[in-house]
């Protein structure tokens, strides 16, 4: 398989997982009684944290790839 295709599929998977985590965080915040803007901010924070974590892991693993 082409290396570019693997990179694009992995990036798409990371975005989908981050979006699902953000949706779960927003839903849980709303169920906890948070207002819509507060729940949206929690969801956005979770999305940003998931993307940042993926970037950090990618940077750490890049040292070991040829």
Task: With respect to residue 40, please indicate whether it lies within any of the assigned structural domains.
Answer: yes
Domain assignment present for residue 21? The answer is yes
pLDDT at 41 over 90: yes
Question: With 80 as the cut, is the pLDDT of residue 63 above it?
Answer: yes
Q: Count of domains in the chain?
A: 1
Instruction: Label residue 58 by pLDDT band (50, 70, 90).
Output: very high
Predicted confidence (pLDDT) at residue 1 exceeds the cutoff of 80: no
Share of the chain above pLDDT 90, in %: 86
Residue partners of 22: CB distance under 8 A and separation at least 6: 43, 44, 46, 47, 50
Residue range(s) defining the domain that contains residue 39: 3-61
Closest C-alpha among 28, 26, 48 to residue 37: 26
Residue 41, in any domain of the structure: yes
Does residue 32 lie in a domain region?
yes
pTM: 0.88
């Amino acid at each position: 398989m082409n290396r570019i295709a693997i990179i694009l599929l992995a990036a798409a998977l990371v975005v989908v997982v981050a979006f699902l985590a953000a949706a779960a965080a927003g839903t849980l915040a709303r169920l906890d009684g948070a207002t819509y803007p507060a729940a949206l901010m929690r969801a956005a924070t979770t999305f940003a944290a998931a993307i940042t974590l993926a970037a950090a892991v990618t940077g750490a693993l890049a040292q070991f790839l040829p």
